Structure 1
Amino acid sequence: MKVLIIGNGGREHALAWKVSKSKIVSDIYLARGNAGTSSFCKNIDIDATDIDSLLEFAIDKKIDLTIVGPEDSLCMGIVDKFKENGLKIFGPDKSCARFEKSKKFTKEFLEKYKIPTAKYKFFTCFDDAKESLKEFSYPLVIKADGLCLGKGVIICQNENEAISTLEDIFIKKIFKEEGSTVIIEEFLKGIEESLLCMVADNKLFPLETCKDHKQIYDGNKGPNTGGVGTYSPNNFSNKTKYNIEKILGKIEYGLSDSGFHYYGILFIGFMIDEDEPKVLEFNVRFGDPETETLMPRLKSDLISLIDKCLNKTLTREDIIWSDDYCLSLILVSDGYPSKYEKNKVISGIERVNNSLVFHNGTKIKDGYILSDGGRVLTICSKAKSLQEARKIAYDDCNRIYFENKYYRTDIGLN
């Protein structure tokens, strides 16, 4: 079986690593892949958004299954195009991808189907948004409506910060057209939870729980990032689990009632306070860095699960997990998520013996592995306890060096 994975980050590296364990897979291609995937996959020089070239490649190579990593490709309609040409592909179509393309679209869906979420208003001009600030208490949350690489959500502690954020989005246009609509919503307190679900024609099959740390600094401070650390499982009370199941049922009903035919992954971000979960956001693809943490715990064959999902024969019993804990620590370039430098030589990866190393932003040049992004490497450890997994990850993190390496020191402590 030939598999094409679209993307070049840690998520795609982790998916490729898991796919490589399948006995029915003969060839794995990554577009574009990275320095880590080049050691066991065939990296191809096609951008994830170059859908026509990806389609041509898939047809030429007789690809049996394509797995889509990045949201951009999904929102551009890669699934629609591949299906039109008779190719098997795992991911939601362009219509369903609107759940990530537009936060406003998702909020209206949640409101229509009475799914718990934060109170909100949306705006298309600076003056109206600024005027509405008096209706909210602080802290509050301001979100750019579109795709912003995980950086379009800003928590504002006071009015000055809120006005400055609105100026950045509406006037300075830091998110370009992705910020043409802005959502202002109440700040939710509690424990954040990431739940990825495989979806077979609107039927949700939850994967294991995962805790994501989005803010760049220790103590959950500083600006949001694409994620700088995760661990799994993130255990909750039976009441919380029951309430999440009720929400999943409402989502399933809403998808069907709206006329969708959703296949792929639905990533649900929750905030949980006193056993009461509320939905923060939807994403329409495997989470990053959640995927790096979940794949080592997944005992089932991923290819088999995807095949059953696409054929609508998947059951919850098919998805089997190890009892171990996994913790992932993200090594980033200092300055991320703002300005940072690339092309730093990375050394010491070969000295890591007790963890998996997934490459987020790397490339090979002149025989050297170089940094090529804000998030550079994911150090993923697995152990019988969270404390043990944490110790292994931090020990192995110190075996790796690149100039201006930065990481949070409190992953797994909160």
Structure 2
Amino acid sequence: MKVLVVGSGGREHALCWTLAASPLCHKLFCAPGNAGIAEDAECVAIAAEDIDGLLAFVEEEAIDYVVVGPEAPLVLGLVDRLSAVGVKAFGPSAAAAALEGSKGFTKDLCAKYDIPTAAYARFTEAEAAKAYVRTQGTPIVVKADGLAAGKGVTVAMTEDEALAAIDAALSEGAFGDAGGEVVIEAFLEGEEASFFALVDGDFALPLVTAQDHKRAFDGDQGPNTGGMGAYSPAPVMTEALIEETMARIIRPTVAAMKAEGCPYKGVLYAGLMITADGPQLIEYNVRFGDPECQVVLMRLMSDLLPALIASTDGVLSTFDLRWYEEPALTVVIAAEGYPGSYEKGSVIQGLEEAEGNSDDIKIFHAGTRRGEDGSLLASGGRVLGVTAMAPGIAQAQARAYGAVDKIDWPQGFCRRDIGWRAVAREEE
């Protein structure tokens, strides 16, 4: 098969690295890709949101299957457009991608179908939203309704923070159209976990669990980011909690989407808060998480491509996936200044030494490109995902940071405590 992966981040590098190993894939492309992806696939200079450009390339190259990595092209209807010309693709339709494209849509769906999530209200007028905050009190969570590149959520510990977040979205246009409406919801206490399932419209196949670290700095301090690291499995997700999540959240959502006339196909990523009352849905994403995808796929023993195709074809119930028992851990190295402003173009060295000849260490590229002289250059905020697998989570952590310390990139930084919760549990 000729396969096209859409996207350019660490998630897409993990997907390309995994799919390139499939005996079903005889030619792999990635649009637009990055310097690391170029080692596993032929990169083509088409932006992930250039739907017309992607359609033209698919037709020109006679692509058999498309795997869509990021959320934006899904919300824009890339899968619908591909389906209309007879090309199979992994990912939901635009209507089903509303699970991520509109937080209000998801909250309303949860309310209608009794899926556990935080109490909420939706607002398009700033004064009404502020009045609600004053009535509810803090802490409280303010979210831009639409896609805001991971920057539209404020966990407000004070009233002033909440009011400022409302003004930023509704009055100042900080998130463009995505912030034309806000969802304000109750603050949930507990431990977060990432839960993934492949879905074929009717059936949901759970994948291994993961947990990521959103805050920029050690000790979960600093601003929220797209993710500074992740590990799998998440010890908080016991077998009982996994089944409860499937029974109360995932399966009801799959049934609800079918009942609403927009059956869901693709990977369903539930951001969970494990509370005293059980798992609660924080939000849905309609694609693999980043950097969770890296640790999940590092542990996958099975061929991923047939499972993705089974999701598209509606025959996922016949599939089972095999996993390595060993934990995996990813440390993200980001450009100094991220998630704020940062410089691009600095040289990165030492990756070959860091990766060595070990099958248990893999460096996934996110924001990288090649310079004219062939040097590796930083071109984004999150730049590398140093991933390691080992018999225990503490060993995986040590192995990942051992590789990090061999990378020569003075303009980069990383957290030094990725996996701390799991390590603490392992030591108990």
Normalised TM-score (structure 1): 0.97
What's the CA shift string for 1:164-218, capped at 9, x where partnerless? Answer: 2222222222111111101111111111111111111232111110001111122
Q: Which residue number in structure 2 is paired with residue 290 of structure 1?
A: 292
Quick one: which amino acid aligns to residue 92 of structure 2? P
Task: Return the alpha-carbon distance in structure 2 between the equivalents of residues 112 and 263 of structure 1.
Answer: 21
Displacement over 6 Å in runs of 4+: none
Quick one: which amino acid aligns to residue 278 of structure 1? Q
Alpha carbons 2:201, 2:314 under 8 Å: kept: yes
Q: Which residue number in structure 1 is paired with residue 190 of structure 2?
A: 190
Among 233, 244, 252, the residue aligned to 1:250: 252
Shift, 1:75, TM fit: 0.6
Quick one: which amino acid aligns to residue 192 of structure 2? E
Task: Return the alpha-carbon distance in structure 2 between the equivalents of residues 98 and 400 of structure 1.
Answer: 40
Q: Which residue number in structure 2 is paired with residue 78 of structure 1?
A: 78
Alpha carbons 2:199, 2:316 under 8 Å: kept: no
Q: Which residue number in structure 1 is paired with residue 148 of structure 2?
A: 148
Which stretch shows the higher mean deviation, 400-409 or 191-200? 400-409
Q: CA RMSD in A?
A: 1.3
**Relative to structure 1, is the Cα distance of residues 135 and 67 closer, same or farther in structure 2, using a 3 angstrom cutoff?**
same
Among 294, 305, 308, the residue aligned to 2:307: 305
Tell whether 2:366 aligns with 1:360: yes
Q: Which residue number in structure 2 is paired with residue 373 of structure 1?
A: 380
What does residue range 3-402 of structure 1 map to in structure 2 within 5 Å? Answer: 3-235=3-235, 236-247=237-248, 248-274=250-276, 276-315=278-317, 318-352=320-354, 353=356, 354=358, 355-366=361-372, 367-402=374-409
Shift, 1:256, TM fit: 2.1
Paired residue secondary structure (1:208)? coil
**Relative to structure 1, is the Cα distance of residues 140 and 12 closer, same or farther in structure 2, using a 3 angstrom cutoff?**
same
Task: Return the alpha-carbon distance in structure 1 between the equivalents of residues 240 and 5 of structure 2.
Answer: 38
**Relative to structure 1, is the Cα distance of residues 3 and 238 closer, same or farther in structure 2, using a 3 angstrom cutoff?**
closer
Q: Which residue number in structure 2 is paired with residue 2 of structure 1?
A: 2
Quick one: which amino acid aligns to residue 391 of structure 2? K
Paired residue secondary structure (2:204)? strand
Shift, 1:342, TM fit: 1.2
Task: Return the alpha-carbon distance in structure 2 between the equivalents of residues 256 and 66 of structure 1.
Answer: 23
Paired residue secondary structure (1:117)? coil
Task: Return the alpha-carbon distance in structure 2 between the equivalents of residues 32 and 139 of structure 1.
Answer: 40
**Relative to structure 1, is the Cα distance of residues 316 and 296 closer, same or farther in structure 2, using a 3 angstrom cutoff?**
farther
Quick one: which amino acid aligns to residue 404 of structure 1? Q
Quick one: which amino acid aligns to residue 244 of structure 1? T
Alpha carbons 2:369, 2:379 under 8 Å: kept: yes
Alpha carbons 1:7, 1:30 under 8 Å: kept: yes
What's the CA shift string for 1:10-56, capped at 9, x where partnerless? Answer: 00000000001111211110000001011231000111111111111
Quick one: which amino acid aligns to residue 352 of structure 2? E
Which stretch shows the higher mean deviation, 50-59 or 378-387? 50-59
Alpha carbons 1:209, 1:232 under 8 Å: kept: yes
Which stretch shows the higher mean deviation, 370-379 or 194-203? 194-203
Quick one: which amino acid aligns to residue 212 of structure 1? D
Shift, 1:404, TM fit: 2.5
Which stretch shows the higher mean deviation, 57-66 or 254-263? 254-263
Q: Which runs of 5+ in 2 are unaligned?
A: 422-428
Alpha carbons 1:237, 1:275 under 8 Å: kept: no
Which stretch shows the higher mean deviation, 207-216 or 266-275? 266-275
Shift, 1:150, TM fit: 1.3
Quick one: which amino acid aligns to residue 350 of structure 2? G
Paired residue secondary structure (1:155)? strand
Alpha carbons 1:126, 1:170 under 8 Å: kept: yes
Quick one: which amino acid aligns to residue 241 of structure 2? T
Task: Return the alpha-carbon distance in structure 2 between the equivalents of residues 85 and 70 of structure 1.
Answer: 21
**Relative to structure 1, is the Cα distance of residues 347 and 385 closer, same or farther in structure 2, using a 3 angstrom cutoff?**
same
Shift, 1:136, TM fit: 2.0
What's the CA shift string for 1:277-324, capped at 9, x where partnerless? Answer: 000001111111111111111111011111222222223752111101
What is the percentage of aligned positions where both structures have the same residue? Answer: 39
Alpha carbons 1:137, 1:186 under 8 Å: kept: no
Shift, 1:262, TM fit: 1.6
Quick one: which amino acid aligns to residue 220 of structure 2? N
Which stretch shows the higher mean deviation, 56-65 or 251-260? 251-260
Alpha carbons 1:342, 1:371 under 8 Å: kept: yes
Shift, 1:226, TM fit: 0.9
Alpha carbons 1:218, 1:409 under 8 Å: kept: yes
Shift, 1:246, TM fit: 1.5
Quick one: which amino acid aligns to residue 395 of structure 1? G
Alpha carbons 2:218, 2:416 under 8 Å: kept: yes
Q: Which residue number in structure 1 is paired with residue 426 of structure 2?
A: none
Give the paired residue count.
414
